[in-house]
């Protein structure tokens, strides 16, 4: 792969590669959205990625988004970190989609905050498909959680999952695909810089990409969704 030096070039190259992989998997070009994961990156980097055509950006950490995600151009802002119920109002105030609802309590807090702020918010059910991952509802409980969330008035639009760092990636992704089929909706948020190609083969409609767009993060930290 040629070295791409700017965020804009990396986004364009990735877009082309994602479309090729989608077509190789028998899917249409453009059927997989790229969510730019901006944790630890400065606001300028977020703006550069948006200028390069990304219409979805995401953050794990509320505190970072407070500085970076105000007054962005018209894009969808996704919260992909662990939902603390006492932060629900701030999350709803800053984000359009909450991808990481993994228990009823979190969904109820988000719904209540959305109602108080008069804002619509879409959510995904985070499903745990990996022994190395701390959060997420067990796959067998995903459909029931989605049903409970919908009966509370939330718009549940699909599933988010984080693949294993090592081990049987295909098995994990197949589990995520099955959970998505059970939950319903339009979004299967699956795949990161290291494993997005497999995720596209397993039906991902949204890959979450940090490193491959923005470069290595300054400090090595664990994924904490």
Ligand X SMILES: *Cc1c(COP(=O)(O)O)cnc(C)c1O
CB of 38 to ligand X, least distance (A): 9
Q: Using CA atoms, how far apart are residues 189 and 220, in angstroms rounded to an integer?
A: 23
Distance CA 149, CA 144 (A): 9
By CB under 6 A, the count of residues binding ligand X is 15
Residues forming beta bridges with residue 188, ordered by sequence position: 159
Smaller CB separation from ligand X, 88 or 212: 212
When asked if residue 209 is in the footprint of ligand X (CB under 6 A), the reply is yes
Please report whether residue 68 would count as binding ligand X according to CB under 6 A: no
- Binding ligand X (rule: CB under 6 A), the pick from 39, 68, 177, 198 is 39
Residue 6 burial (C-beta neighbours within 10 Å; 0-12, 13-18, 19+): exposed
Position 192 contacts ligand X (CB under 6 A): yes
Per CB under 6 A, does 54 bind ligand X? no
Q: How many CB atoms lie within 10 A of CB 181?
A: 13
CA 21 – CA 177 distance, rounded (Å):
17
* Mask for 70-109, x = binds ligand X (CB under 6 A): ----------x-----------------------------
Using CB under 6 A as the binding rule, whether residue 187 contacts ligand X is answered as no
Hey, how many other C-beta atoms are within 10 angstroms of the C-beta on 2?
6
148 or 193: whose CB is closer to ligand X?
193
CA 124 to chain centre: 9
Q: Do the beta carbons of residue 165 and residue 131 sit within 8 Å?
A: no
- Give the closest residue to 100 by CA, choosing from 136, 151, 141: 136
Residue 225 interacts with ligand X (CB under 6 A): yes or no: yes
Residue 118 Cβ, how far from ligand X at the closest point, in Å?
28
By CB under 6 A, residue 136 contacts ligand X? no
Binding site for ligand X (CB under 6 A): 37, 39, 60, 80, 162, 192-194, 208-212, 223, 225
């Amino acid at each position: 792969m040629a070295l791409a030096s700017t965020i804009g070039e990396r986004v364009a190259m990735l877009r082309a590669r994602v479309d090729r992989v989608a077509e190789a998997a028998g899917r249409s070009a453009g059927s997989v959205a790229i969510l730019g994961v901006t944790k630890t990156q400065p606001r300028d980097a977020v703006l550069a990625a948006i200028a390069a055509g990304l219409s979805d950006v995401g953050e794990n950490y509320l505190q970072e988004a407070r500085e970076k995600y105000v007054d962005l151009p018209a894009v969808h802002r996704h919260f992909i970190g662990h939902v603390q119920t006492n932060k629900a109002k701030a999350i709803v105030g800053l984000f359009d989609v909450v991808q990481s609802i993994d228990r009823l309590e979190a969904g109820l807090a988000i719904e209540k905050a959305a109602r108080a702020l008069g804002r619509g918010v879409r959510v995904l059910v985070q499903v745990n498909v990996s022994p190395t991952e701390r959060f997420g509802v067990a796959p067998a409980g995903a459909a029931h959680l989605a049903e409970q969330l919908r009966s509370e008035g939330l718009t549940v639009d699909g599933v988010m999952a984080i693949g294993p760092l090592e081990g049987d990636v295909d098995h994990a992704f197949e589990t995520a695909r099955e959970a998505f089929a059970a939950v319903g909706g339009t979004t299967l948020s699956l795949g990161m810089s290291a494993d997005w190609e497999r995720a596209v083969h397993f039906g991902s409609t949204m890959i979450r990409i940090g490193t491959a767009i923005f470069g290595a993060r300054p400090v090595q930290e664990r994924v904490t969704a």
